Structure 1
Amino acid sequence: MSKESFIDQLAPAAQADMREFGILASVTIAQAILESGWGRSAPGNNLFGIKGRGQQQVTQESIKGKWIQIVDGFRVYDNWRDSVREHSLLLAHNPRYANVLHERDYRCASQELQCAGYATEPQYTDKLIRIIEGSELTCFDQIEEKRGYMMSSDDAYKIINFLSAAWMSTEDVEARVELHHLADELRKASGQQ
């Protein structure tokens, strides 16, 4: 499989999860490339080297600057899409990756992954950035929302403050319900939920 084909297969899943969880598609794709060697080394369709029950594999870990070989359990997936989804869920539901979510700069997101302990490889951040830049993966971060526009979280925050003030100033129950609904929709549109 060519590098372009590998990227083309992963991009739709990475973009869908970016919309849902706020993890840059470029970072997700770069991690899959790095962790699986462009899909050539993904036993059990595990593109990200996610550990867990499934199958035992020999792997290398960098411990205190020295590489050691260990045997560990790795998850198994039916397909690559499931692997991408599990990766997104792992990052989205683990508080240590909170700084990765909704980070719009791939360099910062890559650094935050390393800081959160995603990988023991000392050069993990640099490798991700080289892959993203070398394969021009940032183009997958520029997606059109179904509504045609994704509001910035700053703008949404300002509007939500105005809606909150309106909510506080009215006693009309129906108006309060609608104002609350609009604030929730703005949070979704800006990627805050």
Structure 2
Amino acid sequence: MTKQSFIEQIAPAAVEDMIKTGVLASITIAQACLESAWGQSAPGNNLFGIKGSGTTQTTKEFINGKWVSIETGFRVYNDWIGSIKDHSEFLLQNSRYRKAGFFDCCTKGDYQGAARALQSANYATDPQYAAKLIEIIENNKFNAYDQEAYYMKEVIQKLQNQISTLESQQLTLLKTAEAHIEKINALEKTASMPVPEWAERAVATAVHYGLIDSPEGRSHDFYSLITIIHRKGLI
């Protein structure tokens, strides 16, 4: 596997993860490159050397001023995407990284500060860990992936705002429609009503003279007109 093919495989997941968690994509990619030797050494699909109980491996730690080989447990994943997701969860769940200012640096897009925060929070024992991450990022221009994530996040936010606006407009239209329906129902009631008490005498007279044959179910205006005609003595 070439370095470029490794980057192409993990970069999209790192960008997506940054949008969700805030962990800089450049840091995620650089750590994966450094910890797994660009994908060449990732037992159990563990790209970041995160310790756990999945499998036992021999690794080197910088202890008391010198490198020593030790055997320790490491987490195991189904694939690299799972490893990337767990990497961010690991950083989020361990408060020492937040206290070291890692997430503050990520918010500012400061990959150099984020790399130093990882080292100060003892992510790795290598005293050159931060310098190595920064060198990998700058030599490969991995901060471009941070900009991609910022752009995608902005697009997503705009879409969410548009959806919220449309939902608000939909709610307004529904309320307007409900109000119109209420008015229509009220009109239907007045357009088809029984003979009101005040019009009974006038309607009876109109029926008597054959002016109308089915007085029930007429409108309010109809009964008013018959009543006026009756009061004028026309029927």
| Structure 1 position 116 matched with structure 2 position 118 | no
Aligned residues: 151
Question: SS of the counterpart of 2:88?
Answer: helix
Counterpart-to-counterpart distance in 2, 1:146 and 1:108: 22
Q: Which piece of structure 1 moves more, 93-102 or 2-11?
A: 93-102
Counterpart-to-counterpart distance in 1, 2:62 and 2:29: 23
Q: Which runs of 4+ in 1 moved over 3 A?
A: none
Look up the equivalent residue of 2:27 and give its one-letter code: V
Provide Cα deviations, 1:5-43, integer angstroms capped at 9, x if missing partner: 111111111111111111110000000000000000000
Counterpart-to-counterpart distance in 1, 2:153 and 2:59: 41
Give the RMSD, CA atoms, in angstroms: 1.6
More helix by share: 2
The residue number in structure 1 matching 2:152 is 145
1:137, distance to aligned residue in structure 2 (A)? 0.4
* Aligned positions of 1:149-188 closer than 5 A: none
Q: TM-score scaled to structure 2, two decimals?
A: 0.62
Counterpart-to-counterpart distance in 2, 1:100 and 1:25: 13
Counterpart-to-counterpart distance in 2, 1:118 and 1:54: 19
Question: SS of the counterpart of 1:69?
Answer: strand
| Structure 1 position 57 matched with structure 2 position 62 | no
Provide Cα deviations, 1:118-157, integer angstroms capped at 9, x if missing partner: 0000100010011001111010000223552779xxxxxx
CA contact under 8 A between 2:19 and 2:153: conserved in structure 1? Answer: no
The residue number in structure 2 matching 1:134 is 139
Q: TM-score scaled to structure 1, two decimals?
A: 0.75
The residue number in structure 2 matching 1:93 is 93
Look up the equivalent residue of 1:97 and give its one-letter code: Y
1:102, distance to aligned residue in structure 2 (A)? 4.6
Look up the equivalent residue of 2:143 and give its one-letter code: T
